[in-house]
């Protein structure tokens, strides 16, 4: 008797492969969605960083006679500012307070845990110490703190870009 040689895969082998692919997809899809959200949030931080340059320059060159005030640093846009039309796809507004703390309002996301939330950038006079106009105007800043929950950031930390985590 002649035996026929088996060609192809058995049903159980195909089912195992489909199950493995399904498990990998179930794990990878949420991670990919978080990654794409973080990439979009980078635009928000980039817009705030442009304002950060302006605030840094004013701290270094300013004098007590030229205190900027709320939304008076020259880089603000959106609600509550004199430039209410300049919005981007993911940034609804960029506001500053009297000490130059930048608050970016997020828009354009379907996820309620992201849309309408805030990211803050705080100027620092020393490590961990927020700068104030009254004490630090006319001097160089130590650096910036980005995305700290205590500063007004209410965006979940998992969506913050790497440059804003752990601050």
d(CA 63, CA 67): 7
Give me the sign of the Cα torsion angle 115, 36, 91, 104: positive
Helices (H), the chain: 11-61, 133-136
Q: Is residue 140 part of a domain?
A: yes
Residue 95 CA to residue 72 CA, distance in Å, equals 9
Has residue 2 been placed in a domain? no
Residue 130 lies in a domain: yes
Task: Give the residue numbers spanning the domain of 148.
Answer: 11-164
Phi, psi (degrees; rounded to nearest 5) at 164: -110, -5
Q: What is the C-alpha end-to-end distance of the chain, expressed in Å? A: 76
Q: What is the CATH number of the domain that holds 48?
A: 3.30.700.10
% residues pLDDT > 90 (the chain): 60
- Give the residue carrying structure tokens 């007004």: 152
Q: What is the pTM of this model?
A: 0.82
Would 6 be classed as within a structural domain? no
For residue 1, name the pLDDT band (cuts at 50, 70, 90). low
Strand partners, 1: none
- What is the count of structural domains for the chain? 1
Residue of higher predicted confidence among 12 and 65:
12
Is 127 among the domain residues? Answer: yes
The answer to whether residue 58 sits within a structural domain is yes
High-pLDDT (> 70) share of the chain, %: 94
- 144 near 122, Cβ under 8 Å? yes
Does a structural domain hold residue 70? yes
pLDDT higher at 142 or 81: 142
Q: Considering the domain boundaries, does residue 118 fall inside one?
A: yes
């Amino acid at each position: 008797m002649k035996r026929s040689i088996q060609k192809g895969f058995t049903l159980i082998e195909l089912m195992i492969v489909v199950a493995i692919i399904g498990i990998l997809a179930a794990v990878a899809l949420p991670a990919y969605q978080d990654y794409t959200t973080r990439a979009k949030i980078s635009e928000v931080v980039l817009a705030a960083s442009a304002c950060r340059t302006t605030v840094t320059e004013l701290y270094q060159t300013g004098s007590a006679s030229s205190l900027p005030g709320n939304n008076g640093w020259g880089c603000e846009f959106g609600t509550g500012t004199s430039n209410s039309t300049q919005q981007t796809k993911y940034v609804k507004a960029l506001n500053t307070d009297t000490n130059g703390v930048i608050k970016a309002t997020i828009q354009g996301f379907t996820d309620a845990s992201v849309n309408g939330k805030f990211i803050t950038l705080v100027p620092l006079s020393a490590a961990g110490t927020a700068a104030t106009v009254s004490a630090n105007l006319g001097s160089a800043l130590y650096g910036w703190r980005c995305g700290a929950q205590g500063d007004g950031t209410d965006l979940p930390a998992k969506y913050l870009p790497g440059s804003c985590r752990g601050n």
